[in-house]
């Protein structure tokens, strides 16, 4: 059933929120879509030029993918890959290593960036979390140069200046080291004039892949959603849970989820300013809300156990220590 009325505001469970703020501003940092090249900068002073030749503090020449072996393409079949709907072959529940290989094959030559945290409200203590999410993107880039202080602001992911991002995939992969799994998938595609697909063709492709949508809204642009109960049955706007289960967005960034909601898929179809029947950018996001709740609870319980063991061990080792007063 298609409906054009706005959905009520969701009431997500607030125990876990994600993703980390860095993902929320990923699109801003890499200039998604068309970007007009900046005008040539004025000649810097000798002092500014000397400072600009130095890379920004904390930066590094190495890219994240430089430390990884080449991907195996096409990705080999694996019994560890769970069934279910996908975004460009990526599925919820995939182990991190498989998802990473698959994403690198899907975005050939893409630039990779890892995120150190996804669940924002985890109390981690001394437990170090790694690779809790990653993004990979491709597009038109140029080398970073540091002629003046402003050039550092243009230098983005992979030590590149991004003039146009053609495609970006963002994954949430929370879990303790060695047990990370895909908990959320977001993909965005951006087309230039002359390459934009028809809006009706994009809608039909989404329906062919995910079935008839539960809702289609046209304001401020086309937003399509598929929402399911935990048992897998699709929800319609007539279901009381439909509005409450709308926290998973099509774009990476702030997300919300709650118990009692299952698989959620959302898509944004963004037209160019001068033709509503074309699509300039397509965003698709997917996550299972009940699974996010369970994963966050399980991670916190395991971290609490490890921290309790660490504290108990420290007390045991310090049992014979006495201060000199």
Characterize the bridge pairing of strands 133-143 and 281-288: unpaired
Q: 83 lies in a domain?
A: yes
Q: 275 lies in a domain?
A: yes
Provide block-wise average pLDDT over 10 residues at a time, the chain (325 residues).
30 42 32 34 36 40 76 86 91 95 94 92 92 96 86 86 95 95 97 96 95 82 90 90 90 89 95 94 96 95 95 89 85
Q: 313 lies in a domain?
A: yes
- Count of domains for the chain: 1
Q: 244 lies in a domain?
A: yes
Q: 5 lies in a domain?
A: no
pLDDT for 216 equals: 86
Q: 58 lies in a domain?
A: yes
**Backbone torsion region of residue 58, taken as left when φ is above 0, otherwise alpha when ψ lies between -120 and 50, otherwise beta:** left
Q: 325 lies in a domain?
A: no
Q: What is the per-residue DSSP string for 139-179?
A: EEEEE---SSTTHHHHB-GGGEEEEEEEEEEEEE--SSTT-
Quote the tokens at residue 300: 């916190």
Quote the tokens at residue 286: 């997917």
pLDDT digits (tens, 9 = 90+) for 169-201: 999 999 999 999 999 999 999 999 999 999 999
Residue 228 lies in domain: 13-36+46-317
Q: Model-level pTM?
A: 0.79
């Amino acid at each position: 059933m298609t409906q054009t009325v706005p959905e009520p505001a969701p009431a997500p469970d607030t125990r876990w929120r994600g993703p980390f703020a860095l993902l929320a501003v990923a699109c801003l940092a890499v200039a998604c879509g068309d970007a007009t090249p900046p005008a040539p900068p004025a000649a810097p002073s000798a002092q500014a030029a000397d400072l600009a030749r130095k890379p920004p503090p904390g930066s590094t020449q190495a890219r994240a993918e430089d430390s990884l072996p080449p991907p195996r393409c096409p990705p080999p079949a694996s019994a560890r890959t769970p069934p279910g709907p996908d975004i460009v072959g990526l599925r919820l529940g995939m182990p991190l290593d498989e998802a990473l290989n698959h994403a690198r094959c899907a975005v050939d030559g893409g630039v990779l960036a890892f995120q150190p945290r996804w669940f924002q409200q985890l109390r981690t203590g001394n437990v170090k979390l790694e690779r809790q999410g990653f993004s990979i993107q491709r597009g038109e880039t140029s080398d970073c140069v540091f002629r003046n202080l402003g050039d550092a602001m243009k230098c983005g992911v992979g030590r590149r200046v991004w003039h146009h991002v053609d495609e970006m995939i963002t994954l949430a992969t929370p879990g303790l080291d060695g047990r990370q799994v895909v908990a959320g998938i977001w993909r965005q595609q951006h087309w230039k004039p002359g390459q934009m697909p028809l809006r009706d063709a994009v809608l039909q492709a989404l329906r062919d892949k995910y079935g008839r949508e539960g809702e289609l809204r046209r304001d401020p642009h086309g937003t399509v959603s598929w929402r399911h109960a935990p048992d897998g049955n699709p929800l319609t706007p007539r279901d009381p849970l439909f509005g409450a289960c709308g926290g998973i967005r099509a774009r990476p960034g702030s997300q919300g989820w709650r118990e009692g909601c299952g698989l959620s898929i959302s898509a944004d179809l963004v037209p160019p300013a001068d033709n509503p029947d074309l699509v300039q950018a397509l965003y698709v996001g997917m996550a299972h809300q009940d699974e996010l709740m369970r994963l966050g609870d399980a991670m916190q319980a395991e971290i609490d156990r490890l921290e309790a063991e660490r504290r108990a061990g420290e007390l045991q080792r310090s049992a014979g220590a006495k201060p000199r007063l």
